Amino acid sequence: MPDSAMPNIPRLLLALLLSLLVTACSKEPSLLEQVKKEGELRVLTRNAATTYYEGADGSHRGLEYELARGFAEYLGVELKMVVAGNVSEVLTQLAEGHAHLAAAGLTVTEPRQVWARFTTPYQYISQHLVYRIGTPRPRSLDDLDGILEVLTESSHAERLRHLKVEHPSLEWVENDELESEELLTLVWERVIDYTVIDSNELSMNRRFYPELRVAFDLTEPEPLAWAFPRFQDDSLFNVAQEYFAAIAADGRLEQLLERYYGHLGEFDYVGTRTYLRHIQQRLPEFRQLFEYAAKEYDLDWRLLAAMAYQESHWDPDAVSPTGVRGIMMLTRATADYLGVERRTDPTQSIMGGARYLERLLRKLPERIQEPDRTWMAVASYNVGFGHLEDARIITQRRGGDADAWKDVKENLPLLRKRKWYRQTKHGYARGNEAARYVENIRSYYEVLVWYLEQQKPEEPEPNKALEILNPVL
């Protein structure tokens, strides 16, 4: 194993000792008092789908960002996210005092606890050894035949060093320039043979690289938590503990986990490959129609496209056994309500579906926030607005939050149970299908966003369908 693979513990400890000396020689207010006086909470993180990233609309997203924003609001201060290049930089910058804490998807490990204090865990993950189809599946570390590459100073590297005692022939390379998701790409592109990745990161990214497979787990479930330098006083750390206890008690933590992971479910290799092929082969014909309709009704065209794929796989001639038709699968009654004369006409169907979704969004109470608002509107597109309202009433009766998609999703299946639908205004409905419908669309949407971001910008070809848009629509 190369020397570069060893963790830079002396440098971290030196930074901690220097900071401790500075702190000891001064009589400053507590760290919590300083943060409130400055009005700013500085949080170290890294760019990744599981931590912090910028959405296509420029907004900040990611589980760690949402948690950090909530903590800043809890303190009554502004949030400043400090983005490090990788895990190694997160650890070093935290030890050197560049931020008050690190919220970067950090696994709690014994070596890290020497210099950092960790909050109550907010999530548990396992470490997967990953390979690509076409490479022989290793059954153990002794079966590895190729390049194994992991992140420098990561919990994965720590685990491999521990396992090397039992597997003396084990060799690996540590990369201090890339992130976990980029190592996944290298495996998918066959540049390297194996990597180690946390289970939550694989769940988030596997849809984009469907040929990746898990060979085996290197660990039992391990906790993820925020890290605070040990040289600091415990004032800010203690309030962070209070914050996590509060959001666990009132359900906010569970709602955030559902927002980012609740729709992933079981991985479907065949369905994912088919979808990616259809993005390439079918979507270009209808893309401008989706974009036009979305602009007309102030919607995200990629959401409309994802809904249309769930409905018809972008087949304008699709017909269901129940008689719904077209690319947006409108019922006859809905088509009449929207003024759509020919449901199998792509232009009329897409414009009608966009208009219908926009009306459903407007019907929801204004207090319902995004993204819950969108997913409830999408659910009502499938099951009907009346049935959605019935599910929200049931949710409230059962002590849930009727304005939170996570809680409503859990109660939608009750619309099939006589005990519950007898108490509703609109009666029986296949609410379980509506819940699954939304989760599928969420996944289709995210894969489409990812796919489009990988493509070079091109001038779209003229679409003749736009030239014959029905003036009535």
Give me the helices (H) in 404-430, please: 405-411, 418-421
Q: Are 365 and 421 in contact (CB under 8 A)?
A: no
- C-alpha 302/C-alpha 290 separation (Å) is 8
Instruction: Choose among 108, 52, 104: nearest CA to 221.
Output: 108
**For residue 321, what pLDDT is reported?**
67
Instruction: Choose among 63, 68, 154, 171: nearest CA to 109.
Output: 154
- C-alpha 170/C-alpha 148 separation (Å) is 9
For the entire predicted model, the pTM comes to: 0.70
Looking up tokens 């330098």, which residue turns up? 229
Is 311 among the residues known to form the active site? yes
**For residue 471, what pLDDT is reported?**
36
From the candidates 149, 174, 179, 311, give the one annotated as an active-site residue.
311
* C-beta contacts of 49-56 below 8 A and 24+ residues apart: 49/181, 49/201, 49/204, 49/205, 50/105, 50/198, 50/200, 50/201, 50/204, 50/260, 51/103, 51/104, 51/105, 52/81, 52/83, 56/449, 56/453
Count of helices and strands (H, E) across the chain: 21, 13
**For residue 27, what pLDDT is reported?**
61
* Chain centroid to CA 129: 21
Give me the helices (H) in 42-113, please: 63-75, 87-95, 110-113
Token pair recorded at residue 147: 């390049």
- C-alpha 61/C-alpha 66 separation (Å) is 7
Instruction: Choose among 54, 43, 106: nearest CA to 79.
Output: 43
DSSP 3-state of 404:
coil
Q: Are 413 and 426 in contact (CB under 8 A)?
A: no
pLDDT tens for the chain, 473 residues: list them: 333 333 455 555 555 555 555 555 456 789 999 999 999 999 999 988 889 987 655 678 889 999 999 999 999 999 999 999 888 889 889 988 899 999 999 999 998 998 899 999 999 999 999 999 989 999 999 999 999 999 988 999 999 999 999 999 999 999 988 888 889 989 998 999 999 999 999 988 888 888 899 999 999 999 999 999 988 899 999 999 999 999 999 989 998 998 888 777 666 777 888 999 999 999 999 999 999 999 999 999 999 999 999 999 999 988 876 678 899 999 888 889 899 999 999 999 999 999 999 999 999 999 999 999 999 999 999 999 999 999 999 999 999 999 999 999 999 999 988 888 888 898 888 888 899 899 999 999 999 998 998 875 554 454 444 443 443 33
- C-alpha 121/C-alpha 225 separation (Å) is 5
